[in-house]
Amino acid sequence: MSIAAPRDRGDLVFAEAKAERVVPAVFFLSAATLANEIVLIRLLSFRFWPHFVPLIVSQAMLGFGGAGVALQIFRRRVERSPGRLFAWMVLLAALAFDLAFRASQLVSFDPFLLLWDPLAWPRFGGFFFLLAVPFFLSGGAMAIPFAFLRRRPGPVYAASFAGSAAGALVALPFLMLAPTGWLLRLPLALGAVACAFVLSDKGEGSRKGRAAALCAVLFLLVIPPADLKLSPYKDLAAVRNLPGAREIASRFGISGDYRAVFAPGVHSAPGLSVRFAGEIPMQATLFADGEQRGTVPKDGGRMPPAYLGYFPAVLPYRLFEHPRVLQLGLRGTEGVLTAAANFASSVTIVEPAQELVRLVREDLSEFSGGWPGSLPVEIREEGARNFLARDRRIFDVIEAADISSATFSSLGVHATGETFLLTREGIRAALVRLGEGGLLAFSGWLKAPPRENVKILRTIRAELSAARLAPAADRIAAIHGWGTFSVVVRRTPFQPAEIDRVRRFCSDYGYSMVWPAEGAGAGGGAEERALREAVSDAMTGAPGERGTELFDLSPVTDDSPYFHRFLRLRTLPEFKRLLGSQWIPFVEWGIVFLVLSLGVSLVLAAMLLLLPAAFARDGTGEAATISVAGYFSALGLAYMLVELTFLKAGILVLGDTIRAAGLAIGGFSFFSGIGSAVSGRWESERAMKRVFAGIAVCVVAGFVILSAAASPLLARGWAMRTAAFVATLAPAAFLMGIPFPAAISRLAAVGGSAIPFAWAVNGFFSVAASAS
């Protein structure tokens, strides 16, 4: 089967005489598409929650895959005028970057209702579909040149990769330059540039239409962006809704959208002892991507508020007088003020989000009264693991506060997020920075049934045992108030007098000591007994996983750094039963969304991929063979899996998820683009075998080197870590850019009718890989 020659003159011109315009159009459209993906991740994290990230990846790849299927099915019609269709898909994609998001905000979609309201699903489907539209259009536009315009696939695919790399690298600084609501300007602007390359064509009517479309794109660029509609259940939306609420400061950047809101109705003191009878001063609430991140008491820097002495998390200050404190994470000014109120001698804060640091230190200094004058305060803007590896100073108290919130970590929203600080290796890195008698402290919300507190205790115990600091139980103390817990650990055993101080602290403030165990007479109801049993088991029971537990509470390591992942598949039926009968004790929303994304993606992919076969009678689907499907699905799966494997290692080394994602996507795209550009030399079967062998070697070697070098790299500067990360992925990425265009060339050589189908398969299975 051969490709029919382009029929109209315009297409001839476009495909041959003006062919040089296709490659830049693909480049800019790819850049716009990748930028759209990145900014959508931020926008949906802000509007909803971070678990929408896999959803965006699914939408992108389903859009691409769907476009391939559509081109395959309508191949005969597309062949009549591929240049014109290419131009219109570029133009409509540019428009869709903005309009699809505006339309998606009109869909009244409540993620919480998905669990029990069937009517919520059509709305979710509409929301999902609308955001997939720009990816469908851009995916279709990118497939047309090598499927229908007789372009050699190498340069077009290279332009696509290079555009993706450029899109990723441009999107990162743009996150620092543009307010969150304006982020879609980037894909829109890049799309407008792509449109400029498809304007010149023969046929007056057509040219007018295209010009009108470009004018519409430019019009969207100059009008104000759509107001971001937050889910009403986001913390920021709830506080904004309070009478008298006003935003007093905001910052935005790569790591997030940060806002400070003052509302008289906010009185935040999570876990405050019921023994506190005083007043909570006015506060500003800090939000990171719409979720509460901390508080700033008004004028707290001038006089630390008294209530800050009434939390279980104050325990380490009762055991160590005038400590040198290291706080991992900035929680407004409350962390510093707590240290000041409890007579710390100095505070060092490690916080990777520069924007948050500036918001608190500069923008809110008048409201907060600055830092307490008597307390030396230093802020280091880097990842906690990087700081622990690099800085040689010794501290008396190291605090990792708020390892669980009252709501979201319990819902598993963070189940898919890496937490390298809460791993055995992270605990090891912190313990070595402690001085004589120094304490490592963790605090968070109590959950029923117990989760985070038990998991951190097991992780600590595993690390202490491995370091031959046994028995671990003698080096740990754990207490809880009515809502929160605090765990302290150190390298040397606690003395009886120190345990007495813990006991006295609990007695004075109305807390309970759960470790060391208080014996049979400790009292409490079923809930208290359950907590004590769980803690006791974590401290003295057999190490390792319990087959009978509802949750995964096994120790966390860098290999699988998902502290907040509690879901066990075999206990799903029990949770499902509870959802239907009582309330929501526990839902791993992050995992649920991953599974949903994977399930929906696979079902849609299977259905769509079967469609061409349905058209086999007229010859349209005969190219959709199992061998094509097998080859390109393997390529899609492999590419995404390798990219994600490097990304996970990159998050540890670079200390920041967004930068690691940008570099991984950008780096892979850039080097794969080079591979695609030179793929014409590697199309023979023999050469391809060498390429695949090279990929296997480079992937394994790159990952092994990166993993082995992670510890020493953590102590190095940003430039060195970035260079090392990119260097380890570059060889594999280069070689992985070759197989797709090489195979497309081979398909083209035998007629090319299967090329759109190959594009679709590749897109779909990239989804499955990214979701799994």
Partner 1 sequence: MKIAIPLITIAAAVLSAALHPALATDEPYLQKRAAMVRDQIEREGVSDPRVLAAMRDVPRHLFVSPSFRAKAYEPYPLPIGEGQTISQPYIVGFMTQILRLKETDRVLEVGTGSGYQAAVAAKLAAEVYSVEILESLAVRSRQTLSDLGFRNVIVRQGDGYYGWEEKAPFDAIIVTCAGGHVPPPLLRQLGNGGRMIMPVGGPFMTQNLVFIEKDTGGSITHRNVLPVAFVRLLGH
The answer to whether 357 touches 351, Cβ cutoff 8 Å, is yes
For residue 56, the minimal CB distance to partner 1 (Å) is 23
Distance CA(403)–CA(613), nearest Å, equals 51
CA-based nearest residue to 254, from 645, 706, 655: 655
Which segments of 178-285 does DSSP mark as H helices, in order? 185-196, 204-222, 235-240
Structure-block tokens of residue 87:
């131009």
Pull the structure tokens for residue 504.
């006295």
Sole binder of partner 1 in the list 246, 373, 482, 704 (CB under 8 A)? 482
Cα dist. 711→115, 256, 429, 726, 754 in Å? 42, 27, 10, 17, 47
What residues from 321 to 360 belong to the interface with partner 1 (CB under 8 A)?
none
| DSSP character string of 568-584 | -GGGHHHHHHHHHHS--
Pairing mode, strands 512-515 and 283-288: unpaired
Q: How far is CA 142 from the centre of its chain?
A: 27
Q: Tell which positions 181-240 bind partner 1, by CB under 8 A.
A: 231-234, 237-238
Report if residue 267 touches partner 1, rule: CB under 8 A.
yes
Cβ-based neighbours of 597, under 8 Å, separated by 6 or more: 54, 55, 57, 58, 767, 771
Q: Per the structure block, which two tokens stand in for 531?
A: 């907590």
Kindly tell me which of 117 and 559 has the beta carbon lying closer to partner 1: 117
Closest separation in Å from C-beta 483 to partner 1:
5
- Contact segment (CB under 8 A) with partner 1 among 189-197, 335-343, 522-530, 640-648 equals 522-530
Q: Which is nearer to partner 1, 324 or 447 (CB)?
A: 447
Minimal distance, residue 3 CB to partner 1, in Å: 53
CA distance 635 to 760: 12
Residue 110 binds to partner 1 (criterion: CB under 8 A): yes
Q: Is the peptide bond before 281 cis (omega within 30 degrees of 0)?
A: no
Stretch that binds partner 1, among 35-43, 355-363, 559-567, 572-580 (CB under 8 A): 572-580
446 to 270, 499, 531, 743: CA distances (angstroms): 11, 22, 9, 55
Q: Which is nearer to partner 1, 407 or 625 (CB)?
A: 407
Tell me which of 224, 525, 547, 573 binds partner 1, using CB under 8 A.
525
Task: Quote the distance between the C-alpha of residue 304 and its chain's center.
Answer: 35
Q: Does 709 bind partner 1 (CB under 8 A)?
A: no
> By CB under 8 A, is residue 580 in contact with partner 1?
yes
Q: Does 569 bind partner 1 (CB under 8 A)?
A: no
- Closest to partner 1 by CB, 91 or 596: 596
Residues in 280-299 that interact with partner 1 by CB under 8 A: 280
Shortest distance in whole angstroms from residue 301 CB to partner 1: 22
Q: What is the C-alpha to C-alpha distance for residues 690 and 678, in angstroms, rounded to an integer?
A: 15
Does residue number 550 form part of the binding site for partner 1 (CB under 8 A)?
yes
Residue 107 sits in the site that holds partner 1 (CB under 8 A): no
3-state class of 651 per DSSP? helix
Under rule CB under 8 A, residue 521 binds partner 1 = no
Nearer of residues 354 and 571 to partner 1, judged by Cβ: 571
CA atoms within 13 A on the CB side of 75: 30
Using CB under 8 A as the binding rule, whether residue 529 contacts partner 1 is answered as yes
Which of the stretches 55-63, 113-121, 148-156, 249-257 binds partner 1 when contact is defined by CB under 8 A?
Answer: 113-121
Output 111 or 763, the one with its CB closest to partner 1.
111
Cα separation, 141 vs 313, in Å, equals 56
Is 584 a binding residue for partner 1 by CB under 8 A? The answer is yes
Size of the site for partner 1 (CB under 8 A): 59
Q: How far is the CB of 123 from partner 1 (least distance, A)?
A: 12
Q: Which of 205, 224, 243, 496 binds partner 1 (CB under 8 A)?
A: 243
Give yes or no for residue 578 binding partner 1 (CB under 8 A): yes
Which member of 177, 407, 466, 545 binds partner 1 (CB under 8 A)? 407
Pair type for strands 256-262 and 346-350: unpaired
Nearest alpha-carbon partner for 565 in 548, 552, 550, 583: 552
In contact, 437 and 490? CB cutoff 8 Å: yes
* Binding-site member from 2, 20, 205, 278 for partner 1 (CB under 8 A): 278
| Cβ neighbours of residue 504 closer than 8 Å, sequence gap 6 or more | none
Contact with partner 1 (CB under 8 A) among 530, 572, 602, 688: 530
Binding mask 436-455 for partner 1 (x = CB under 8 A): ---------xxxxx------
Q: Is 271 in the site for partner 1 (CB under 8 A)?
A: yes
- With respect to partner 1, which residue has the nearer C-beta, 444 or 667? 444
Residue of 30, 26, 61, 29 whose CA lies nearest to 152: 26
- CB closer to partner 1 out of 21 and 240: 240
CA distance 693 to 732: 11
Give least dist CB 751 to partner 1, A: 55
Q: Pick between residue 118 and residue 205 the one whose CB is nearest to partner 1.
A: 118
Would you give the end-to-end CA distance of the chain in angstroms? 37
Parallel, antiparallel, or unpaired: how do β-strands 395-400 and 434-445 relate? parallel
Joined together, the tokens standing for residue 484 give: 């929160």
CA distance 96 to 690: 41
524 is a contact residue toward partner 1 (CB under 8 A) = yes
Query: Is residue 675 near partner 1 by the rule CB under 8 A?
Result: no
| Contacts to partner 1 by CB under 8 A | 110, 112-113, 115-117, 231-234, 237-238, 241-243, 264-265, 267-272, 274-280, 406-407, 410-411, 445-449, 482-483, 510, 524-530, 550, 574, 578-585
